[in-house]
Structure 1
């Protein structure tokens, strides 16, 4: 296996340390970095642009549910993401995969399971735990549309969800209001919705995570 650079993003030091040790043993020669919050992830990705893999805890501070995954894949589409979470229900796993995760590993999984996920992802494949059937409902289909957005469009969508008007968004982004209007039109088209309210509600759904089962 070629040496890779990976980031382990989890806010629990003991789990993060255990995962780093496990990942190091499963990826000989790899550079494994640690992040305790989403801000740390952004800083490391900027500092180490060759990063290939991120182990991302769904409930880590700053992830805002699935929003962190969505932004990460928009900003760094070539970085593979293995979601690590105590939430193991099919809907949560399905939503993560719809938003671009390459694999989903429950925190309760043994080391051998993590090894299978890493091998599959580094080979360019996706990976799921045995017995998981991805949900095909409207919820996951709608979330998958968010993956179509560019980083700028995703930023505009977040501000729409926060209730900002086009003029306010233009000020925040330091662009012309006509540019914002173009972004909004593209967002509505890509998300297959008719108005800003529907688009904002779809973004807000990224924050919803089911209870652990």
Structure 2
């Protein structure tokens, strides 16, 4: 049985290196994209993609926005974050948003192959260098000691949002009014109000200002 993998990264040399690294893995088919909009298009056109390697800094992807959107639209697609940013906080947020793995761009070929096999086996893959750093491990509360527990809880709650609610929240965080959001999404203002109410309830915040600020903080890397 073949596995289809989408490599989403804007650097041709890195995509080529990824393809070379994965060449030894049997029964895989590779697809490549260089921008986040193209990545969404590819996911829509290829409903049999099993695994997505997602660069956090490719064009059209601001911080962790792309990861949150992919998880909301395609919850069955396994996502492995690939990034030059190796900070524990970025890893923790990525896992809270549903990533199945986190690969620094400095990783070796063996690490990449190990990550693919581990994630396809239904397990979470974390670089060996951070296995003992519990703050970066999924499903842990060790971040309490670092003062990030509240933000981590918020990031986890984002997974409850529907794709439409996530879009509305993103626009709220950009300062758009309900009327402007309704125009941009071609929906009624009352529908926008319903989405905003649902977002506030699911995220456990009291108003749209707090929701927007918390979202910006959660997506920042």
Question: How would you bin the TM-score normalised by the shorter chain?
Answer: over 0.9
Whether the 8 Å contact between 2:52 and 2:80 is mirrored in structure 1 is: yes
Match of 1:203 among 189, 192, 215: 215
Runs of 4+ in 1 over 6 A off after TM superposition: none
- Where 2:24 maps in the other structure, the secondary structure is helix
Give the deviation of 1:171 after TM superposition. 2.0
Give the deviation of 1:139 after TM superposition. 2.1
Find the aligned partners of 2:104 and 2:73 in 1 and give their Cα distance.
Answer: 25
Q: Cα deviation per residue 1:12-64 (whole Å; 9 max; x = unaligned)?
A: 111110101212322x2211011111012012112111111100111111110
- What is the TM-score normalised by the length of structure 2? 0.89
Aligned length: 207
Whether the 8 Å contact between 1:67 and 1:206 is mirrored in structure 2 is: no
Q: Cα deviation per residue 1:100-123 (whole Å; 9 max; x = unaligned)?
A: 100001111112211221112111
Alignment partner, residue 79 of structure 2? 81
Question: Is 1:20–2:32 an aligned residue pair?
Answer: no
Alignment partner, residue 120 of structure 1? 118
Match of 1:63 among 43, 61, 64: 61
Q: Cα deviation per residue 1:52-78 (whole Å; 9 max; x = unaligned)?
A: 110011111111010011001101111
Whether the 8 Å contact between 2:151 and 2:218 is mirrored in structure 1 is: no
Whether the 8 Å contact between 1:74 and 1:151 is mirrored in structure 2 is: yes
Alignment partner, residue 139 of structure 2? none
Alignment partner, residue 40 of structure 1? 38
Find the aligned partners of 1:15 and 1:177 in 2 and give their Cα distance.
Answer: 44
Whether the 8 Å contact between 1:188 and 1:194 is mirrored in structure 2 is: yes
Alignment partner, residue 146 of structure 2? none
- What is the TM-score normalised by the length of structure 1? 0.92
Alignment partner, residue 160 of structure 1? 172
Whether the 8 Å contact between 1:64 and 1:206 is mirrored in structure 2 is: no
Match of 2:153 among 141, 144, 163: 141
Whether the 8 Å contact between 1:8 and 1:33 is mirrored in structure 2 is: yes
